[in-house]
Amino acid sequence: MNEIIRFDDVTYSYAEGSAPALDGVTLAIRQGETVAVLGHNGSGKSTLAKMLNGLLTPASGTVAVCGMDTKDESRLLDIRQKVGLVFQNPDNQIVATVVEEDVAFALENLGVPPPEIRERVDAALRDVGMLEYREHAPHRLSGGQKQRVAIAGALAMDPLVLAMDEPTAMLDPKGRGEVMETVRRLNRERGVTVVMVTHHMNEAALCGRVVVMDRGKVKLDGPPGDVFSRAGELQSLGLSVPQTVALAQGLGLDAAPLTEEECAELIFKEFSRC
């Protein structure tokens, strides 16, 4: 698999002399992956997200997107086009008064010819299932719908990577479900690489890879099955495990089921034996 983003010994701190937000992070993100970044508050996970498209640049070390160094300002627009970044509060990232105008914003900035903007906006809205709302005012939409519009706004740029900083933190369970469903479908059908900062263990369990951060360092990195089976280590980092894993481990089973079906099957298998 192709490497799209590469962090090489990246260090960063917000203020001189304060504890570093990132401390020697080395990480590669490959095409088509879905990566969840976990960590408690102040672990550096949001800082990591802002490094992905050059909003922040490392104090030492390098971040490269498709081989382009994020410190190279002449390539900044190319980098931002390759890595779409979506934030927590959907209200604060919608610029225009009409849904479709907002999705068009990035393309207008890039100077794309109007007929092509129209096509790409419609395609992006269709991809997130919001096409029928294209003429609505954003403030009349639900939280989940707004966040999907924000995702469409990033998607219209045709990015290789969709990066999200706690995209579901301000949503109700229904909105959270909508967003997760959309993101997974985009990965599956469009092959978009997904990097998602989250503190919901159940969302992380749906990703193909989990990176756990603590005090600016990468502590664990692997498939969710491996990461969540190390419950003790996670607890010492102030994190819990998904409920399914907690249940299995509470029953004394040595496994980390990630979905409810998996969990039910495991329990059934285990206890029908005796």
Partner 1 sequence: MLKDITLGQYFPGSSIIHRMDPRIKLILLFCFITALLMANHALTYAGVLLFLALAVAVSRIKPKALFKGMRPMLFIVIFTAVLNIFYTPGEPLVSFWVFNIAAEGIERAVFMALRLTMLISATFMLTYTTSPIFLSDALARLMSPLAKLKIPVHEFAMMMTIALRFIPTIIEETDKIMSAQKARGADFETGNLFRRAKALIPLLVPLFVGAFRRADDLAVAMECRCYHGGEGRTRMKQLHMTAEDAAVLTGGLLLLSGLTVLGRLGWFIP
* Contacting positions for partner 1 (CB under 8 A): 53, 55, 77, 80-81, 84-85, 87, 89, 91-98, 100-101, 104-114, 117-118, 121, 137-139, 150, 153-154, 157
Nearer to partner 1, 3 or 116 (CB): 116
The single-letter DSSP state of residue 17 is: T
Q: Give which of 54, 62, 58, 60 is closest to 79, Cα–Cα.
A: 54
Least spacing, CB of residue 139 vs partner 1, in Å: 4
Least spacing, CB of residue 96 vs partner 1, in Å: 6
Exposure string over 128-152, b if 16+ CB within 10 A, otherwise e: bebbebbeeebeebebbbbbbbbbb
Nearer to partner 1, 139 or 273 (CB): 139
Q: Give which of 48, 39, 42, 38 is closest to 12, Cα–Cα.
A: 48
Least spacing, CB of residue 118 vs partner 1, in Å: 6
Nearer to partner 1, 159 or 257 (CB): 159
**From CA 118, how far away is CA 109, in angstroms rounded?**
14
Nearer to partner 1, 164 or 263 (CB): 164
The arrangement of strands across the sheet holding 193-197 comes to 83-86, 161-165, 193-197, 34-38, 209-214, 217-222
Least spacing, CB of residue 148 vs partner 1, in Å: 15
Least spacing, CB of residue 234 vs partner 1, in Å: 30
24 torsion bin: left (phi>0), alpha (psi -120 to 50), beta (else): left
**What tokens were used for 86?**
């979506």
Nearer to partner 1, 22 or 154 (CB): 154
